[in-house]
Amino acid sequence: MTNEEKRGPGRPRVLTHEERKARILDAAEALFVRQGYAATSMGDVARASSMSKKTVYDMFETKEALFSALVLSRNEFEPRLLECDTAGKTAREGLQMILQKSAELVLAPHQIALTRLVIAETAKAPELADQFYKQGIDRAEQALASQFERLCKQHDLRVDDPKEMVNFFFGAILCDELMDGLMRRPRVSNKRPLSKQISRLLDIFGPAIGLDDGARS
């Protein structure tokens, strides 16, 4: 009998649906990262999460569906970006805050691990890249573009395509940092902190869109 099915005095309480789901996703993430997606079976996930195989399949019909749900559950862009309160800040301060938070989310260790997994497994399981893009990258881009578009309207910035512009800024910031993370390269001691890199980028390109300290709501 699995942990989820135990009942009665002195026995573990019955887990809720969401708790069972979270346990399965945590187990799947650990297994995928440690031994690879292709080498992990749904039975492995069931054993690692102390769930029955039936429970795992009831929640996730296929391993691809499980991976898709995992990526979606780890995508914190929308809720975390909504925490960025840009009210009363200059356009530059607001954009600096949004870019900083976004970069921190992309460079988080668990996110780097998932990205590394997808790159390593795509040749054997091309569906991973598709799900990672749909549930991760695409949703993150939409959340970031939405916040930037709001900032543009608030400060009347000169931007024709907010999504294109914010992706340009974001790509320029992340290029080296993301590569270092994926390759496990140690950080260079004299390298600018992320906040300084963002500030320097805005110094160079910000004026082209009307981004200056005088641009207030």
Question: Do 200 and 144 sit in the same domain of this protein?
Answer: yes
| Domain containing residue 57 | 3-69
In sign, the C-alpha dihedral spanning 3, 7, 12, 15 is positive
Q: What is the pLDDT of residue 200?
A: 93
Q: Considering 50, 69, 88, which residue would you say is the last residue of a domain?
A: 69
Query: Is 212 a residue whose pLDDT tops 80?
Result: no
Question: Do 106 and 126 sit in the same domain of this protein?
Answer: yes
Q: What is the pLDDT of residues 90-118, one digit of tens each?
A: 999 999 999 998 898 888 888 899 899 99
CATH code where residue 65 lies = 1.10.10.60
E strands within the chain?
none
CB 122 within 8 A of CB 136: no
Query: Is 127 a residue whose pLDDT tops 70?
Result: yes
Question: Do 171 and 90 sit in the same domain of this protein?
Answer: yes
Q: What is the pLDDT of residue 78?
A: 72
Contacts of 48 by beta carbon, 8 Å cutoff, 6+ apart: 27, 28, 30, 31
Poorest-confidence range of 5-9, 133-137, 182-186?
Answer: 5-9
Poorest-confidence range of 80-94, 167-181, 203-217?
Answer: 203-217
Domain assignment present for residue 215? The answer is no
Query: Is 74 a residue whose pLDDT tops 60?
Result: yes
Taking the CA atoms of residue 133, residue 138, residue 141 and residue 143 in that order, the dihedral angle to the nearest 10 degrees is: -130
Question: Do 102 and 124 sit in the same domain of this protein?
Answer: yes
Q: What is the mean pLDDT of residues 69-97?
A: 84
Q: What is the pLDDT of residue 26?
A: 96
- Coil, strand or helix at 216: coil
Q: Considering 69, 91, 119, which residue would you say is the last residue of a domain?
A: 69
Rounded CA-CA distance 176/11 in Å is: 51
Q: What is the pLDDT of residue 141?
A: 87
In sign, the C-alpha dihedral spanning 117, 119, 122, 127 is positive
Domain assignment present for residue 217? The answer is no
Domain assignment present for residue 65? The answer is yes
Q: How far is CA 197 from CA 24, 74, 177, 206, 207, in A?
A: 38, 26, 10, 13, 16
Q: What is the pLDDT of residue 217?
A: 38
Q: What is the pLDDT of residues 17-66, one digit of tens each?
A: 999 999 999 999 999 999 999 999 999 999 999 999 999 999 999 999 99
Q: What is the pLDDT of residues 152-200, one digit of tens each?
A: 999 999 999 988 998 899 889 888 888 888 888 776 555 678 899 999 9
Q: What is the mean pLDDT of residues 135-150?
A: 88
From 73, 42, 47, 38, select the one nearest 57 (Cα to Cα).
Answer: 42
Question: Do 193 and 105 sit in the same domain of this protein?
Answer: yes
Domain assignment present for residue 152? The answer is yes
Q: What is the pLDDT of residue 215?
A: 40
Query: Is 123 a residue whose pLDDT tops 60?
Result: yes
Nearest 5°: phi and psi at 14? Answer: -75, 130
CATH code where residue 91 lies = 1.10.357.10
Residue 90 is classified by DSSP as -
Question: Do 97 and 182 sit in the same domain of this protein?
Answer: yes
Domains in the chain, number? 2
Question: Do 112 and 173 sit in the same domain of this protein?
Answer: yes
Question: Do 24 and 124 sit in the same domain of this protein?
Answer: no
- Coil, strand or helix at 107: coil
- Coil, strand or helix at 145: helix
Q: What is the pLDDT of residue 143?
A: 87
